[in-house]
Structure 1
Amino acid sequence: MSNRSPHPDRRALAAFTLVELLISVSIIALLLSILVPTLGRARELTRRATCAANLQGLSRAVATYGADYRTQLPQFSAYCGSWLWDISYLNRDYLIECGAQRRMLYCPSGLYQDLDQHWWFGGFTVSGYWWFHRRVPPGGTGWTAKPLLDPKANPDGRKYLVHLQEDLQVVTAAGATTFRTLGPGDLELAADATISSVINGQDFFGYTKGGSTQPHRTSHMDGGNPAGGSIMFLDGHVSWRDFQDMRKRAFGPEHWW
């Protein structure tokens, strides 16, 4: 007959020691420090993919409009606002009629913009993307368009676009007398909103105050700095542009793309 006790040794059931507990907590903290940024990065990559899909959908809507109006882009009316994400109700509705949806007009990394007060903002819609269509028709009056860098003097210069098939002569360097040609595959038609305010001579990429009760900020952030943004080009393709490759091209507040 066995002399072993039917009860397990109480010492075998002893709880973790303090050292073992601290080691376990440290391991969990280490795993969280690795996993949380990874999950955040994965979510941002998903948002970027959705953002690119939004712009692809808007590009198709613009192409549909152009097919009906002799390759013209929707031209912004006199009441379209002055920031580059402001679009008139008329042109917003044209995009919807041509297949766009409200959600496409807002980047998923900047959904704070998708508010009814922005959709109906006193005569125009505050969207989530910069638009580079011509702002006011020839001879028209209304909101003054943001001045863009002059392509005849600055290699980062641009112009407001009128047709699906356009090109632009841009100086090769400041002060140069030679030019290069930007075609539909080079000219931006819409872009993620990357916005800054100048404070004490420095660009501040936190929240920027405008006419809305809701402060504005750059859509895709990497900590305290912009990460970049998706760009829709005149030929219809969409690609990502890192912030280091963006330039400040319109002002008051500062518009980057």
Structure 2
Amino acid sequence: MSTTNPLARIGYAVALPLVLFTLWWVASAGSESFFWPPLSDILAAFPDTWFGERITTDVLPSIARLLIGYLLALALGVALGIPIGLYRRVRAFAEPTLEFFRAIPPPVLVPVIALFAGYTGSTSKIVTIVIGCLWPILLNTVEGVRAVDEVLVDTAKVYHLSTRSTLVHVVLRGASPQIAAGARQALSIGVILMVISELFGANRGLGASIVQFQRSFAIPEMWTGIIVLGLLGVLLSVIFRLVETRALAWYRGVRDANRGA
């Protein structure tokens, strides 16, 4: 049964987080463990830790690197995925190389990228995010383009649509649901790589701050950093869902019509 009431949808969305929050509060209350402080202590440390200059020195630079790397990967993945998906010879030429690089976990490449691009700047971190986010976008674009109905492509040729119009209105439109699925996967990977890339030689950023808190035994502050990462992931997911819902409104309408039929 679908829920169309906005208040009901919000209630369903926040119910589980509230339950988990309550369980954490109860389970940690009165805790004397140095590494498992009460949730009340963590929340008390939150404002002083993140509502000051860390927003501009750590949070915003991390988000900026994530967005730059993610958008570059999105553009590159779609641009490469279209010709690979459209042309069989290009696909046969590129697939072995794609499979080779896809099998390499991006975190393994972080030290190598930092070695060539530098440890202290933002370049190595952005490159790491691009490489990690590229593969789900690229592979989903390839599969989405390959799944486009050939009758539609042939019809576009019959009506003498230009190559650009065919790509935009037929190929990209038909592949867009699968591209969106790859983009969603890439976003979660990007958040992970944003943190991992900041563990090597960085003194600023969310990942670097969490490590610094851990090394200085500022455990409540370390937990606040983990919470900030979780909240950032939720915020990015909500923004992505809003953009996806607007961009793929036509697809949802066709799917619902087919179900009704």
Question: Structure 2-normalised TM-score?
Answer: 0.30
* Higher-strand-fraction structure: 1
Structure with more relative contact order (C-alpha pairs < 8 Å, separation 6 or more): 2
Q: Based on CA coordinates, which of the two structures has the bigger radius of gyration?
A: 1
